[in-house]
Amino acid sequence: MTKQRIIVSKKVPHECLAPYEADFDFTLPEDGDRLSYEYILERIAEFDGFFAIDAKVDKRVLDAAKKLKAVANFGVGYDRIDWKYATELGIPVLNTPTTVTEATAEFTIALIMAVMRGIPRYNNQVRQNIWDAPLFSDVNTMVGVSTLGIIGLGRIGKSVCRKAQGLGMKVVYYDKFRASEEIEKEYNVVYKPFDEILAQSDCIAVHVPYLPENNHMFNAETFAKMKPSAYFVNTARGKLMDEAALCRALKNGVIKGAALDVFEQEPKVYEELLSLDNVVLTPHVASLTMHSRMAMCDEALSGLTSVLKGRIPRNVVNPTVFGK
């Protein structure tokens, strides 16, 4: 019996594919790290499944994919996939909603600690033989007595909440869909309107998906509503913020600092941000541990192969294709 074929847009360790090789044939990059958009567009018609890792899956690709039964995205956010058009075509789109949670939340807390306590700044100074250790200074902020405002109380937001409370932080949150009274009680977290979160928080952590209506939800007006002593941390999606407006806010003292793992035009970063010492910058690596990345592969491939075997996976983002 001919095996169904799956195309994988970037190289992954063989251990990720091994559990599935008995039933499926995989095509991966042979030269270089990734398959080009042009290669995918030219060859996608041959495949039953698409494991999309940092790959654009637009209308052109979906129209060319004559046999395609499912697309699995590597990560929670699937904004590079035209999932609405895929839904029209009856193609399930899957993501990895659970396996990134703890690693991303952990990294968010690390960024909060790093920017509020100035760790990268001190690291850079000591490496330049600068010993800047005054007896009294307000350049840093104590984390444990601060209020964290979480924007988006999903899986990652909840995990960040728990970890922040473990440091002594008071946590408030805003979500377009307010959590139940039971969840708020379980997490000891208080709901507040968006503008109140901005005005009252010492640090804002963003954990919402990117949708067109969320584009630049953090902009010049938003930053102006925050405390001058507040920090902004984004490990969600770059297009949720206006990088130019954030840069102005950081330069002009509108807010005290920021920590960013995501950017509007990755891998490009708004150039002026690079010269500021009150912003911590990392290259979209919040989920980057071998443990979490291997688990992400398995969650994506488990869902993808389930569809190819005629089953309905739990990690489908457009369940209406199954009549649900």
Instruction: Confirm whether 4-96+290-322 and 101-281 share one CATH topology.
Output: yes
Residues belonging to the active site: 237, 266, 284
pLDDT at 30: 87
pLDDT < 70 positions in the chain? 324
Domain boundaries, the chain: 4-96+290-322, 101-281
Task: Determine how many CB atoms are found less than 10 A away from the CB of residue 223.
Answer: 23
State phi, psi for 116 to the nearest 5 degrees.
-75, -30
> H-helix or E-strand containing 13?
none
Assign domain 101-281 to a CATH class: alpha beta
- Per the CB < 8 A criterion, the answer to whether 159 and 98 are in contact is no
Task: Determine how many CB atoms are found less than 10 A away from the CB of residue 185.
Answer: 10
- Per the CB < 8 A criterion, the answer to whether 147 and 168 are in contact is no
pLDDT at 324: 63
Topology classification of domain 4-96+290-322: Rossmann fold (3.40.50)
Nearest to 143 by CA among 192, 188, 203: 203
pLDDT per residue as tens digits for the range 284-302: 999 999 999 999 999 999 9
Please write down the long-range contacts of 12-21, taking CB distance under 8 Å and 24 or more positions apart. 12/53, 12/297, 13/294, 13/297, 15/294, 16/294, 16/297, 16/298, 16/301, 17/301, 19/298, 19/301, 20/301, 20/305
In DSSP notation, 54-120 reads: S--B-HHHHHH-SS--EEEESSS--TTB-HHHHHHTT--EE--TTTTHHHHHHHHHHHHHHHHHTHH
Whole-structure pTM value? 0.92
70 forms bridges with which residues in the sheet? 49
